[in-house]
Amino acid sequence: MQYSKKAVAKLSDESKNAAKNGDKKRKKLRFQLDHSAKFYPIMSTKKAQSLFRISALMKEDVDRDKLQIALNEVLPRFEAYSVRLKKGYAWHFFEHNDAPCKVFDEGALLKPIDPDETNGYWFRVSAAGNKIILEIFHALADGNGALAFLKSIVKRYREVCGFTVEDDGVIDWQSEPVSEETEDGFEKNYKPISLGQMNLKALAGKVPHRIKGTLSKDGYEVSEGVVEAKDVLKRAKEIGVSFTAYVAGVLAYSIEKTCANKVPIAVMIPVNLRTLYPSRTMRNFVTFVRIILAPSEFKSIETCAKETQRQLKIQTAKDKLDAFISTTVKAQKNWILKIVPLFLKTAIL
């Protein structure tokens, strides 16, 4: 079934009205940033924000009007993203946002989000050719939550285009929001510890090797390569490591080859904590494991990958992650951080 332009316009109006009516029925949501997100707004500037991008490729060019319909209908279902960022006394917080949310044309890669342009939303949905793009501020979500959001938008877009789409784990835009989706996974899985048990040194880490060079202008530059995932996985299995460990090993090995001096290389690997702890949150629930590879380990890609696998196994052990979560939450519960006003935190950091 295909929609005429007149039908699309009618659907667009109906989707906007449905979104507004849904917002009226919902209480005014307001919640604190999760424990891994609190410092993102403090450390962000107009030119440097912690953004990331994911995208989906269609078989045909994207119809922006139909994508707008899909976004209007899907957004109210995702309460964790239907928010604006506000300043509190000690920390930022999120407040429900029912302003219109528009689809943009693709701009510069990861162009900083201007809330005046997005009506206060801290994500941006764009269309370019056959690509649907979601760029999102890390204070809102990690990759797992953002992917769920994009999949729902794409599914609804395909339905508006007249296609039948299998659910297969995609969140239905007509389903009711679940309170657990806006929970703080860190707070939920926090186990109280004493000050003496806190491992603040592990949170800070050491200053890694920095790749030299300066971009000629503001923004980002991308080096893109395409490879068959099945081929990478096959090679990883041949040497007895995971897909993640192999890719990280290749990255570290490549960086080391550009270094004039033989120095340790640090690679940060994200770990989805939802696989180890009970949580349905659509917000941040991820940690970054710091892998340190010494010069002696750069004999080959295989040795880099195997050492990465060894360190990953140690650092993602349940007791290590328990300690990380407890230290993260305990540190932010410190009375000093509670009484230091937000403007001072911003000035210091």
* Whole-prediction pTM: 0.85
Compare 59 and 168 and report the one with higher pLDDT.
59
Q: What is the pLDDT of residue 187?
A: 93
108 with 219: CB under 8 angstroms? yes
Q: What is the pLDDT of residue 196?
A: 63
Q: Does domain 195-348 have CATH number 2.60.40?
A: no
Question: How many angstroms separate the CA atoms of 25 and 48, rounded?
Answer: 37
With bands split at pLDDT 50, 70 and 90, how would you rate the model's confidence at 25? very low
Q: What is the pLDDT of residue 198?
A: 65
Instruction: For residue range 165-195, list pLDDT tens digits in order.
Output: 888 889 999 999 999 999 999 999 988 877 6
With bands split at pLDDT 50, 70 and 90, how would you rate the model's confidence at 247? very high
* Lowest-confidence region among 154-158, 167-171, 187-191, 311-315: 167-171
Compare 14 and 104 and report the one with higher pLDDT.
104
Instruction: For residue range 222-244, list pLDDT tens digits in order.
Output: 778 888 999 999 999 999 999 99
- Is residue 206 scored above 60 in pLDDT? yes
- Is residue 335 scored above 80 in pLDDT? yes
19 with 75: CB under 8 angstroms? yes
Q: What is the pLDDT of residue 78?
A: 97
With bands split at pLDDT 50, 70 and 90, how would you rate the model's confidence at 49? confident
Q: What is the mean pLDDT of residues 98-122?
A: 92
Domain ranges of the chain: 5-182, 195-348
Q: Is 173 exposed, middle or buried (0-12, 13-18, 19+ CB in 10 A)?
A: buried
* Lowest-confidence region among 8-12, 42-46, 254-258: 8-12
Same fold, 5-182 and 195-348: yes
Q: What is the mean pLDDT of residues 312-335?
A: 90
Q: What is the pLDDT of residue 90?
A: 92
Where do we find the tokens 């953004």? 51
Instruction: For residue range 72-95, list pLDDT tens digits in order.
Output: 999 999 999 999 999 999 999 999
Q: What is the pLDDT of residue 188?
A: 93
Q: What is the pLDDT of residue 106?
A: 86
Q: What is the pLDDT of residue 218?
A: 66
- Is residue 51 scored above 80 in pLDDT? yes
- Is residue 98 scored above 60 in pLDDT? yes
Concatenating the DSSP letter of every residue in 214-260 gives: --SSSS---------HHHHHHHHHHTT--HHHHHHHHHHHHHHTT-S
Q: Across the strands, what pairs with 128?
A: 131
Question: How many angstroms separate the CA atoms of 76 and 60, rounded?
Answer: 27
Q: What is the mean pLDDT of the chain?
A: 86
- CATH of span 5-182: 3.30.559.10
Q: What is the mean pLDDT of residues 134-163?
A: 96
Secondary structure of the chain in the HEC alphabet?
A: CCCCHHHHHHHHHHHHHHHHHHHHHCCCCEEECCCCCCHHHHHCCCCCCCEEEEEEECCCCCCHHHHHHHHHHHHHHCCCCCEEEEECCCCEEEEECCCCCCEEECCCCCCCCCCCCCCCCCEEEEEECCEEEEEEECCCCCHHHHHHHHHHHHHHHHHHCCCCCCCCCCCCCCCCCCHHHHCCHHHHCCCCCCHHHCCHHHHHCCCCCCCCCCCCCCCCCCCCCCCCHHHHHHHHHHCCCCHHHHHHHHHHHHHHCCCCCCCCEEEEEEEEHHHCCCCCCCCCCEEEEEEEECHHHCCCHHHHHHHHHHHHHHHCCHHHHHHHHHHHHHHHCCHHHHHCCHHHHHHHC
Compare 95 and 8 and report the one with higher pLDDT.
95
C-alpha distance across the termini of the chain, in Å: 54
Give the count of alpha carbons within 13 A of 137, CB side only. Answer: 31
